[in-house]
Amino acid sequence: MSDRSEVTLPDGVRLHVETSGPADAPVTVVLLHGWCLDRRTWHYQRQALEGADARVIAYDARGHGRSSATRLRSATLGQLGDDLAEVIRECAPAGPVVLVGHSLGGMTIMEYADSHPEEFADRVAGLVFVSTTAEGASHTCYGLPSALTPILRTAEQAGAGLLARLGAWRPHAALLPALRPTVRWLLFGDSYRAGDLETTMSAFGRASLRSIGGFRASVGAQQRLETLAALGDVPAAALVGDRDRLTPPPCAESIADALPGTKLTIFEDAGHMLMMERADEVSAAVLAVTERAVQDMSGRRRARARRTGYDQAA
C-alpha cells in the first residue's frame, strides 16, 4: 500500500510523490522515470521491493504524470537535479539512499551529483542506471542508418522548440491510438506486454507539449562522464537493451567505463522500456545494488565504531 503526498518546490511546482515500505527501513530507494513517462512505469520494481527491507519513493517529475506543470525556463535537467535534492530532503531526510533512474531519470541523477556533490556523497549509497546516457544525444540514431541522424536531429530540435512554446496543452492525448505504433517501435524491443504499452501510452498522453519539447535542449546537450568518474566506488549497475533506439548500448558502456565498480548488463532483443520488458532482471539488479549498499553502510558504521573505540581507549 502506497502513501500519496505532494512536495512543493521553491518555485511553486507540486510533485506527486508515492512512498511505501517501513519508515525505519535501513535504506530508501528512489525511482525516477523517463521523459514523457511517469512513476507507473516502475510498477514491477515497486512490487519486487515490497518484500525488501527498504523504503521506496516514486514520484512524477515536474510537467509529468500528476505533478503540476513547469515553466518553460525550468524545463531543464539542472532543474530536475535540484528537484531530486528537494524530494530527498523532504521525503528521506536521513539514512542511505539508492537512486534508480530510467532514461531522463538517470540523467537527473547525474545532475544531482554534479550540482550537489557533498550532499550526494553523504547520502547516496547505490546507483542503478536503466536505459540512460551521460552523453546527451551523442549515440542516438533512432534505430535508423547513421547517415540520417544529423537530419533527424535537426528536425527533432526544431520541432521540440515549437512544441515547448505551446505550453501545457495536450492535444496528442486524443491521438494516442494513431501514435501507438510509432511509440511501440521507438520504445520497445521485440516482445512486450500489452498492458505495459498501454501504461506507457497513458503516461505519454499526460505529458504536456511543453514537457515533450522543453526538456529536449538540455537532454541533448548533457555531458556528465567526468561527474560519474568523480563519484568513487559506489555500488552501481548500468542496464541497457541491444534494441534500444534512444540510448543504445554505447551509452551504458560509457557509463560503466566512467563509474568504477559498475556492473554492465546488455539484454538481447530488449528496447528502451527495459524495466517493463525485462522486469525480473531489472528488479534483481535493483535489489542487488540495494543489498550491497546496506552491507557497505553497515561495514562503514562498524569501522567507524572501531575507530571511535580505539580513539577513546587511547
Q: For 111-151, what is each residue's pLDDT tens digit?
A: 999 999 999 999 999 999 999 999 986 566 655 556 555 65
Query: What is the DSSP-derived secondary structure letter of residue 61?
Result: P
Q: How confident is the model at residue 45 (pLDDT cuts 50, 70, 90)?
A: very high
Per-residue pLDDT tens over the stretch 282-292: 999 999 999 99
Assign 168 a pLDDT band (cuts: 50, 70, 90). Answer: low
The domains of the chain are located at: 3-313
Confidence label for 215 from pLDDT (cuts 50, 70 and 90): confident
What homologous superfamily is domain 3-313 in, according to CATH? Alpha/Beta hydrolase fold, catalytic domain (3.40.50.1820)
Strands 3-8 and 14-20: antiparallel
What pTM did the predictor assign? Answer: 0.89
CA neighbor of 171 nearest in space, from 200, 143, 207: 207
- Alpha-carbon distance of 293 to 297, in angstroms, equals 6
Cβ atoms within 10 Å of 287's Cβ, excluding its own = 19
Residue with cell 505532494: 6
Virtual torsion, Cα 106, 107, 113, 114, nearest 10 deg:
170
The torsion angles phi and psi of 166, rounded to 5 degrees, stand at -90, 0
